[in-house]
Amino acid sequence: MTTKPHILVVEDEPAIRTGLVDVLTFHGYDVTSAQDGISGLEHALTGRFDLILLDIMLPGMNGFDVCNAIREIDKEQPIIILTAKVSDEDIVRGLRLGADDYVAKPFSVEQLVLRIAAVIRRTQTPEVEEIVLTAKGHLDVVIDTRNLNGKRGNETIHFTRREMGIIAYLNAHGKRPVSRDELLTEVWGYAKNLDIETRTVDIHIAKLRRKLEPDSKNPVHLITVRGAGYRLLGR
């Protein structure tokens, strides 16, 4: 018997929470819900969930703090944040804390369900276990994909599962640039014809540069090829 994917919905507005539980249950998920940040975090840290759907504006403890607390314990837990705040600052903050993606309210239920399915589908650990990045005049970066960490000299670098997925995919296609849309399809798992507005790729690339590069404003490993996409160099 196949086990249904289990989703935790953390949302304080009763109508939205009930609607999400009903929709996700209809689409074949087991759903647990919480109405505030404190109980949501307790569920997240004591249960096992294939994905957490996390609102930002929560009583007791906001979604940013909940996401950060989860990431301190579990780097791999898939998280999508729900936000009525659509400013770049809020979106960037959520993704920097380790969310896999964000969905802005009001949202299309159809797109939300498709994006949830895509994130859950892309939860496998990358097959390559170690990646070594070298660049003349710079310390080598050794990346352990299985354990979501790396080393640059004596410095330990920690990655989220999504960041490691980007690294592994760019590494596997290192001879050519990889477009933003290709990353959304192959790393996030979104359908090619899914017309979505998201800055998640750009923000994740910026996060990775701060971790991988000696100078994130002048990258030597993770470079942009104008009009074509991104390449991972120095392998």
What does the pLDDT read at residue 123?
64
pLDDT per residue over 150-177, tens digit each? 998 888 998 888 898 899 899 888 889 9
What does the pLDDT read at residue 1?
45
Residue 1, in any domain of the structure: no
Q: Are residues 213 and 151 in the same domain?
A: yes
Distance of CA 220 to the CA centre of its chain: 24
Domain that holds residue 136: 130-232
Identity of the residue numbered 30: D
> DSSP assignment, residue 197?
-
Look up the CATH number of the domain holding residue 172: 1.10.10.10
Instruction: For residue 157, give the H/E element and its range.
Output: strand 155-158
Residue ranges, the chain, pLDDT below 70? 1-2, 85-88, 123-128, 193-197, 234-235
pLDDT per residue over 94-115, tens digit each? 888 888 888 888 888 888 898 8
Q: What are phi and psi of 104, to 5 degrees?
A: -90, 135
What does the pLDDT read at residue 127?
55
Q: Are residues 27 and 102 in the same domain?
A: yes
Look up the CATH number of the domain holding residue 77: 3.40.50.2300
Share of the chain above pLDDT 70, in %: 92
